[in-house]
Structure 1
Amino acid sequence: MIKKMINYKILTFLFLTMTLGSCKGQNDKSKKMENKTTNPLLCDPATGICETPGEKKNNGHAKTNEKPVKVIYFTDPICSSCWGIEPQLRKLKLEYGNSVEIEYRMGGLLPDWSYNSGGISKPSDVAQHWDEVSGYYDMPIDGDVWLKDPLDSSYPPSIAFKAAQLQDKSKALDFMRELREMVFLKKKNIAKWEHIAVAAEKVGLDTNKLKADFEGKAKDLFQEDLKLARELGVRGFPTMFFTNGNGNRETVYGSKPYAFYETAILKINSDTKKSEYSKNWESLFAKYPSLTAKEFSELSGTPRVESERLLNDLAAKGTLEKFTTKNGSIWTLKS
């Protein structure tokens, strides 16, 4: 009995030190957890990876187009580590968007709940992890969605994103952002069509066409993404392949500081030039209508504490609208 209690405490400790999406770390602690972290809803903050179970690396190669640098980005709508790199990714687009094309691919983080792995067997087990990873990434995430209206799978919003890409790739990115804000901040079950439709309508997509594609060709496109992920050896999210026309490739695996992504670009193409952009709040909100304090700090170069103070001042003046969760806030430009 004592031995069982000790083992239970150890498993509980390991469970609480991980976040949404399982991943193998690079330190001794992670190695010890290796056999316990095959669950796609466990994440290691140290590596910043949401890992899919059973995937192995292989020698697949990413195809490129004629652009100087192409990024093939494997992600998932409910990947907390992917939400955690939004500040870096948004800055990357501002500084290198003229030279870098980002191709979004879905990875299929949560097929269903027909497994029991890594200490997680039901949605409610995930709630505390989301609350913890929110603090680690300094991005607002409310885990209560897993208690109030849990998702059965991340496949429906992933397929919906592929359907959105068929209409308009730019609006598809806005759609993905809206879905993430709904699930991470507003506790909405984005596997349900009612919420998918609201997100689509908000960003200007044709919901009737989206529904038709969602039930048709988008499913095949989603399967193609999963197939490509297997060919390229993707085993977790976020994974970014930086490639060029010569077949060279750099991989950034997991959530990393901005410098890692910038370095990957310059390794692939040393001639890539950084673009200057306006860092005042008006310009940033014109580009990105919703920003967290971490995002605003990253994009504006403002210290984190000062960035939140500035955003709060703008909200007090009625310029911005503030939405607050138990784990942080997001500010939206008022129309």
Structure 2
Amino acid sequence: MNNNRSANNINSHYMDNKPMEIYLFIDPFCAECWSLSPIINKLQIEYGDYFTLKYVLCGNLSFWNQKGVNLGDKKNIKKLKNDHQIFPTPHLAAISIKAAELQGKKAGIRFIRRLQELLFVENADITDINVIQQCAKHVGLDIEEFIRDVYSQSSANAFQCDLKISSEMEVNEMPAMVFFNENIEDEGLKITGLYSYDIYVQLLTEMLERFPKPAEKPPLELFLSTNPIMASKDLAMIYDVPVQQIEKQMKKLQLQRKVQKINAKNGHFWKYTSGGL
């Protein structure tokens, strides 16, 4: 298994002054990748001072191409300036994530999370450019720049780079995470699938070679303001309290018109509105 970092993919000496880097391999259509989100949230809350997180797109490319855009639509092809060759845009849900990331790492993460909410909570068609555009607006992207980037060579290249990283690190199942420490010579530690939160903390501790100190969790409302759609069970896991306690708190916020309950195909969720119902 080759879990070494390519020198072309990262600058190993600059990791935001943090001793660890985690590669998170996801497919926007993968339900288990969506299920991993609250674990990633908690890991970032408690141990975010110790690592940087890099999202890498992975998945069944033949499935993405099958669900890809209509090549007869002039909007979905691009003529290269130099030789006027025409190439098909990769699957829009995937390529749009890379376009969002061009507006900053945090913008890209907000976009990924909202795209997953649209699919798994709101049952939206995230292959539809109109849905993708609304997603970009929702997370505050520059829409004109975003649409231009969706059909750009830069986004296509970034997507292909992700697929190359996935191949180099032999990521064949998802979700997957690869943990790297400061020593560039050390191989990364790969974990595939879904596990309890404690397992990820254990891996982080092993790679750090010391016990990291967890940060305090933010007040519930503050967390919801940046993660507005959450399930009770996920909030209970993040805050280490019984689900019944979270339900009680959310019902209080519901009475204050700060959250609304959403019934979705994957269960019910709470949507934070900050009194904007």
Band of TM-score, shorter chain: 0.7 to 0.9
- Deviation of the 1:279 alpha carbon: 5.0
Q: Which of residues 270, 284, 290 in structure 1 aligns to 2:223?
A: 284
The answer to whether residue 179 in structure 2 is matched with residue 242 in structure 1 is yes
Q: Using the TM superposition, give the Cα deviation of residue 328 of structure 1 relative to its aligned residue in structure 2, in angstroms.
A: 1.5
Q: Is the 8 A contact 1:159 1:219 kept in 2?
A: yes
Query: What is the match of residue 73 of structure 2?
Result: none
Cα distance in 2 for partners of 1:311, 1:240 equals 32
Q: Which amino acid aligns with 1:75?
A: I
- Mapping for residues 1-335 of structure 1, pairs under 5 Å: 58-63=1-6, 64-66=12-14, 67-109=18-60, 111-112=62-63, 155-216=91-152, 217-246=154-183, 247-248=185-186, 249-271=188-210, 273-278=212-217, 280-335=219-274
* Alpha-carbon displacement from aligned partner over 1:77-115 (angstroms, at most 9, x marks no partner): 111111111121100000111111010110033533889
Q: Give the secondary-structure state (helix, strand or coil) at the position aligned to 2:63.
A: coil
Give me the whole-angstrom Cα distance separating, in 1, the residues matched to 2:198 and 2:247: 23
How many residues are aligned here?
242
Q: CA deviation at 1:159?
A: 0.9
- Distance between the aligned counterparts of 1:100 and 1:172, measured in 2? 17
CA RMSD of aligned residues (A): 2.3
CA distance in 2, matches of 1:304, 1:109: 35
Question: What per-residue deviation string (whole Å, max 9, x for no partner) do you get for residues 207-254 of structure 1?
Answer: 221111111110111011101111110101111000012133211111
Structure 1 counterpart of 2:81: none
Structure 2: how far apart are the matches of 1:290 and 1:308? 14
Q: CA deviation at 1:304?
A: 1.9
Q: Aligned-pair distance for 1:62?
A: 2.4
Structure 2 CA distance for aligned equivalents of residues 277 and 109 of structure 1: 38
Once the two structures are TM-superposed, the CA of residue 266 in structure 1 deviates from its matched residue by 0.9
The whole-number CA distance in structure 1 between the counterparts of 2:64 and 2:104 is 32
Distance 1:183 1:300, change over 3 A: same
SS of residue paired to 2:213: coil
TM (normalized to structure 1)?
0.67
Residues 57 and 94 of structure 2 are in contact (CA less than 8 Å); yes or no, is this contact kept in structure 1? yes
Q: What is the TM-score normalised by the length of structure 2? A: 0.80
1:76–1:231 CA distance, 2 compared to 1 (3 A)? same
Q: Which secondary structure does the structure 2 equivalent of 1:74 belong to? A: strand
Gaps of 5+ in 2: 7-11, 68-89
CA-to-aligned-CA distance 1:2-37 (integer Å, 9 cap, x gap): xxxxxxxxxxxxxxxxxxxxxxxxxxxxxxxxxxxx
Distance in 2 separating the partners of 1:228 and 1:188: 29
When residues 214 and 94 of structure 1 are mapped into structure 2, their CA distance, relative to the original with a 3 A threshold, is: same
Instruction: Give unmatched runs, 5+ long, in structure 1.
Output: 1-57, 116-121, 123-153
Identity of aligned residues (%): 28
What secondary structure is seen at the aligned counterpart in 1 of 2:102? helix
1:334 offset after TM fit, Å? 1.4
